[in-house]
């Protein structure tokens, strides 16, 4: 099967700045893929090249097998992009916006799908409202609707939940999960790493324009073995023998970083030996945020 | 074709939804020019034998409205879309560079023609108009609005800030329009000014347009048509190249 997205040795230079340096990624059809990285890592530049908003200095990008430069009409038809910026055309209502966007993709009569989109995005009541009068969250949902008017097989969401409240964020993820279940390939960039961990099957991490990690989410979580133990002791005093393991101390207790689960027994033995009383104890696995920070610091 | 038609329709709606500002205001401006200049100069100038100054002025004002509004339509639409970021809505879909070009161009021509027709319609209350060669009227209205629509696309693509577009409008479009013979026949000018006016392509648009009304002009309508059509083709070629390469649209 043709990959949904194929990126080969893509570089992008803005004057002196090397925004992307030889990025290669392949995303299969039906995947939920995460593209992570700190600000300025090159995520938006890569998405812009994918969408034809920017032109790569070197390398090639294909969407559903269509080169974004040589076969740009076919590539753009296969792609729906939700831009990061909250942009809208103030001259039009929500329905007009979606109808016009359908027309750009060559679809004349799209009312049934537009009605369905309005329903799923909870915008039916606002269909005839001018875009200027919508809240930020509603404008964000219209942007998602615009990206989906032509039912693209590949959907790219560039930080779609930035500045969105918790309730809306949850409903958006529910909707995007549904799209993925229906067969759409989803590419997501986000700064909310717990979301990426929960949603994405595979993840690529970018730093300074280069891919520094590229694997399944499960494998990335196993990259750094070990666990954390949070202890609340009475009295609030950590035995000296455990101090080398201390990662952080707060009113909530002592956070100890362990190499593996086997060390938990040593910690307990040390506490017993010191006569410390455990009030609360929690064993935690490193999450994606932890992995992300370690990878970024390691490079 | 659906993509082209939709973009044209969107651009049409964009100015038609605010027609008080985009159509009625320019018509009112032309009426004010007619009232002030027509009243002041009506008994002092007879540009062509047997043609009153007010009758001479009306086609010039109509053409000025056509030109300025065609330019304003494409330039302001592109500029605003670039500034607000909603230009992505037309850059992301599979619109070819030709569809992009012709949709913006046609919408600019449409606004130019609507404004020009509005000026003629309202001034008809005050001045008796003749249409000696109506096909020339139509041809120069189309060619003139076409050139200005294309210039508007170039200005909208080139400008990154609103003051850059204003400079384009104030230091190029406005002087060339005002010095194109809208308010006078170039035969009333000193020889040097006459020669310089012949270098102004806007002069040929206005003169050819006026020829259609009176069957008389400062130069042959065929010469005017040839110069204006050549300018339109050259500017269109340049603009198509700019759009195809993504000049200041795609980074």
Contact A213, A295 (CB under 8 A): yes
Domain residue ranges of chain B, discontinuous segments joined by + = 2-245
Cα dihedral A67, A73, A76, A78 sign: negative
Q: Does A274 touch chain B (CB under 8 A)?
A: no
Contact A171, A160 (CB under 8 A): no
Backbone angles phi, psi at A180, to 5 degrees: -65, -40
DSSP string, A123-139: -GGGTTSBGGGS-HHHH
The percentage of residues in chain A with a pLDDT greater than 90, rounded to a whole number, is 40
Is the pLDDT score of B44 beyond 70? Answer: no
Backbone angles phi, psi at A175, to 5 degrees: -65, -45
DSSP conformational letter for A242: G
SS (H, E, C) A163-193: CCCHHHHHHHHHHHHHHHHCCCEEEEECCCH
pLDDT per residue as tens digits for the range A209-256: 888 888 888 887 777 777 888 888 888 888 888 888 888 888 878 888
The percentage of residues in chain A with a pLDDT greater than 70, rounded to a whole number, is 99
Chain B, nearest residue to A14 by Cα: B251
Is the pLDDT score of A205 beyond 70? Answer: yes
Q: Which residue numbers of B have CB closer than 8 Å to A's CBs? A: 2-3, 5-7, 9-10, 13-14, 17-18, 81, 84-86, 88-96, 246, 250-251
Considering chain B, what is the average pLDDT of its residues?
89
Is the pLDDT score of A80 beyond 90? Answer: yes
Mutate to test the interface with B, among A72, A91, A157 (most CBs of B within 10 A): A91
Q: What mean pLDDT is predicted for residues B10-18?
A: 92
pTM of the model: 0.84
Is the pLDDT score of B172 beyond 70? Answer: yes
pLDDT per residue as tens digits for the range A129-172: 999 999 888 898 899 999 999 999 999 998 887 777 788 888 88
CB within 8 Å of B160: residues ≥ 6 apart: B82, B248
Strand partners, A156: A81, A187
Distance of CA A277 to the CA centre of its chain: 42
pLDDT, residue B218, reads 84
Is the pLDDT score of A110 beyond 80? Answer: yes
Q: Which chain B residues contact residue A64 at CB under 8 A?
A: none
Measured between CA atoms, how close is A291 to chain B, in angstroms? 33
Better pLDDT: B45 or B181: B181
pLDDT, residue B43, reads 66
Q: Which chain A residues contact residue B88 at CB under 8 A?
A: 53, 81, 83, 87
Better pLDDT: B186 or A78: A78
B9 contacts A73? CB cut-off 8 A: no
ipTM (interface pTM): 0.83
B90 contacts A106? CB cut-off 8 A: no
Asked if CATH classification 3.90.79.10 holds for the domain at A5-221, the reply, yes or no, is no
pLDDT, residue B123, reads 86
* Rounded Cα–Cα distance for residues A220 and A112 (Å): 42
End-to-end Cα spacing for chain A: 34
Measured between CA atoms, how close is A13 to chain B, in angstroms? 10
Domain residue ranges of chain A, discontinuous segments joined by + = 5-221, 227-285
Q: What mean pLDDT is predicted for residues B186-193?
A: 82
Mutate to test the interface with B, among A69, A88, A89 (most CBs of B within 10 A): A89
Considering chain A, what is the average pLDDT of its residues?
88
CB within 8 Å of B48: residues ≥ 6 apart: B56, B185, B214, B216
* Rounded Cα–Cα distance for residues B47 and B217 (Å): 10
Q: Does A81 touch chain B (CB under 8 A)?
A: yes
Least confident of A46-50, A271-275, B158-162: A271-275
């Amino acid at each position: 099967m043709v990959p949904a997205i194929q990126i080969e040795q893509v570089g992008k230079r803005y004057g002196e700045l090397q925004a992307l340096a030889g990025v290669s990624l392949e995303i299969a059809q039906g995947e939920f893929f995460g593209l992570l990285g700190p600000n300025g890592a090159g995520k938006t530049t890569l998405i812009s090249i994918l969408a034809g908003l920017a032109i790569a200095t070197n390398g090639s990008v294909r969407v559903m097998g269509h080169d974004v430069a040589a076969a740009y009409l076919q590539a753009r038809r296969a792609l729906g992009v939700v831009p990061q910026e909250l942009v809208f055309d103030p001259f039009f209502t929500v329905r007009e916006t979606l109808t016009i966007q359908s027309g750009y993709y060559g679809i004349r009569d799209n009312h049934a799908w537009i009605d369905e989109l309005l329903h799923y995005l909870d915008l039916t009541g606002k269909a005839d409202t001018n875009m200027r009068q919508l809240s930020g969250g509603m404008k964000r949902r219209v942007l998602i609707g615009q990206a989906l008017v032509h039912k693209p097989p590949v959907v790219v969401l560039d930080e779609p939940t930035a500045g969105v409240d918790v309730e809306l964020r949850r409903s958006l993820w529910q909707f995007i999960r549904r799209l993925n279940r229906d067969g759409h390939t989803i590419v997501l960039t986000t700064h909310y790493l717990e979301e990426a961990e929960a949603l994405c099957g595979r993840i690529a991490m970018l730093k300074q324009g280069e891919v520094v990690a590229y694997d399944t989410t499960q494998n990335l979580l196993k990259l750094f073995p070990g666990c954390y133990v949070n202890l609340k002791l009475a009295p609030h005093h950590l035995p000296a023998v455990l101090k080398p393991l201390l990662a952080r101390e707060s009113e909530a207790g002592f956070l100890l970083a362990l190499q593996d689960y086997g060390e938990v027994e040593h910690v307990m033995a040390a506490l017993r030996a010191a006569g410390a009383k455990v009030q609360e104890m929690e064993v935690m696995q490193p999450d994606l945020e932890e992995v992300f920070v370690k990878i970024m610091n390691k490079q | 074709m659906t993509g082209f038609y939709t973009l044209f329709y969107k651009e049409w709606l964009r100015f038609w939804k605010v027609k008080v500002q985009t159509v009625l205001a320019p018509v009112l401006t032309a009426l004010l020019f007619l009232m002030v200049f027509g009243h002041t100069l009506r008994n002092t100038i007879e540009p062509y034998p047997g043609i009153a100054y007010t009758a001479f002025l009306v086609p010039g004002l109509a053409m000025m409205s056509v030109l300025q509004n065609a330019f304003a339509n494409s330039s302001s639409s592109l500029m605003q879309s670039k500034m607000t970021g909603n230009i992505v809505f037309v850059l992301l879909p599979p619109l070819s560079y030709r569809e992009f070009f012709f949709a913006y161009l046609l919408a600019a021509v449409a606004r130019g023609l609507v404004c020009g027709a509005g000026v003629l319609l309202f001034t008809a209350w005050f001045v008796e108009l003749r249409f000696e060669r109506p096909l020339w009227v139509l041809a120069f209205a189309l060619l003139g609005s076409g050139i200005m629509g294309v210039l508007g696309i170039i200005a909208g693509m080139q400008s990154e800030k609103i003051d850059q577009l204003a400079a384009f409008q104030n230091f190029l479009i406005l002087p060339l329009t005002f010095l194109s013979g809208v308010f006078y026949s170039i035969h009333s000018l000193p020889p040097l000014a006459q020669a310089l006016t012949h270098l102004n392509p806007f002069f040929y648009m206005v003169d050819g347009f006026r020829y259609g009304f009176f069957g008389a002009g400062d130069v042959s309508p065929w010469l005017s048509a040839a110069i204006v059509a050549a300018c339109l083709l050259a500017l269109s070629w340049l603009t198509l190249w700019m759009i195809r390469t993504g000049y200041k649209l795609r980074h």
